[in-house]
Structure 1
Amino acid sequence: MQLTRPDLARILDRSAAERPTAELGWLDAPPARARVLRERVVLGPDATVDDVADALFGWRIHRGAGLVIVPSGPADVGVTVVQAVRAGSLWFAAPCRVIDVVRTPDETGFTYATLPHHPETGVESFRVLRDGDRLVFEIHAVTRHDFWGSRILPRVAHRVQDRVTRGYLDAAGLSPGTRPGSP
């Protein structure tokens, strides 16, 4: 937490050798006192798996959610990303590592886990899924408060997480090729 925008490139360099603080298994078996969040949005009739996946793997959905990000590359297993979000007059940096990638005709996406110095400990999964004849974008997160500020003010931490999640959902719905009438 700081008053000025964090140096994300420096944090990315520092985070390169760090190990994730949570495991993929948290999505199926959340630890005690974890917050489980699962949200989804039905994408427009012109949405394609490829368009939304390109926006997701290229980090455009994260940028579209209002995050400032510096990734070490397109989303793939082992890629590190540092995100920054502003809450009031404070900035929070959140380093993560991609730990799982899925690419099938009916499900495409990735999961990342938090790294040390992230305000939370947890995992978050982003998926583009076929649901019958519809295409949906789904977020599934399991987190625990790690930062002293989020432990003292959990409602504020939840509001920030909810705001960013809504941003992801909105950005997925506005990805190229997902707007009604787009080519």
Structure 2
Amino acid sequence: MSERSAPFTYPEVGATRTTMPTRYHRFRHRRRIGHGRDLFDRAAAHILEFGMQKGVDIFDRADTETAEPGTELTVRLGFGPLAITAPCRVVYVLTDPNRGGFAYGTLPGHPEIGEELFAVEYDPADDTVYGLVTAFSRPATWYVRLGGPAVRMIQRWFAIRYLRTLPTEP
């Protein structure tokens, strides 16, 4: 079965958009990156071009230049011969006036099961721009199960690093 025809590895596809399921480890990391519509637009473009994944050096490949629903992509986790290629598919893209970004979900072969949202939010009330990473996941492999709390700590560390790749005010 090719990745293109492979189903997502979890039934709650799209749940990062609404209410995340309870049977998973969940997290949300949000950080103010600055002010202004221009910053929001630049950050949204960065996210849609897989800039967060490229910025933390885990991007492997994608079958489109920018995130679109159905885009297949892989990220590489680890180093050298110990690296794991993790297949994902873009579930949805946010192109709202005050929210931009995308979510991807795991495919067979990914060491975890779940979904992750990479987004930027604009608050028109005070012109503030926030970066956001939110996810739900659980282990799909023995080695992720064995990693337990350390794996969750690494996920949070990556979320912080993802947000640091976003453009900020000069």
- TM-score of the superposition, structure 1-length normalised? 0.80
User: Which one of the candidate residues 68, 92, 98 is aligned to 1:106?
Assistant: 98
Say whether 1:168 aligns with 2:162: yes
Identity of aligned residues (%): 26
Q: Report the Cα distance in structure 1 between the residues aligned to 2:143 and 2:164, rounded to whole angstroms.
A: 27
Q: Report the Cα distance in structure 2 between the residues aligned to 1:120 and 1:126, rounded to whole angstroms.
A: 17
Q: How far off its partner does 1:87 sit?
A: 6.0
Match of 2:8 in 1: 20
Q: How far off its partner does 1:14 sit?
A: 4.3
User: Which one of the candidate residues 60, 70, 74 is aligned to 1:78?
Assistant: 70
Two-structure CA RMSD over aligned residues (Å): 2.1
Q: Report the Cα distance in structure 1 between the residues aligned to 2:59 and 2:118, rounded to whole angstroms.
A: 18
Letter of the structure 1 residue corresponding to residue 33 of structure 2 = L
SS at match of 1:138: strand
Deviations 1:128-177 (A, max 9, x none): 111332100111100011111011221232233223212101112xx3xx
Q: Report the Cα distance in structure 2 between the residues aligned to 1:67 and 1:110, rounded to whole angstroms.
A: 17
Count of residue pairs the alignment pairs up? 163
After the TM superposition, which segments of 4 or more aligned residues of structure 1 sit over 3 Å from their partners? Answer: none
Moved more, 71-80 or 17-26: 17-26
Q: Is the 8 A contact 2:20 2:26 kept in 1?
A: no
Deviations 1:19-51 (A, max 9, x none): 11121136514142x110100111134662221
Alignment of 1:76-155 (within 5 A): 76-86=68-78, 90-131=82-123, 132=125, 133-155=127-149
Gaps of 5+ in 2: none
- TM-score of the superposition, structure 2-length normalised? 0.86
SS at match of 1:66: coil
Q: How far off its partner does 1:66 sit?
A: 2.4
Moved more, 67-76 or 37-46: 37-46
SS at match of 1:76: coil
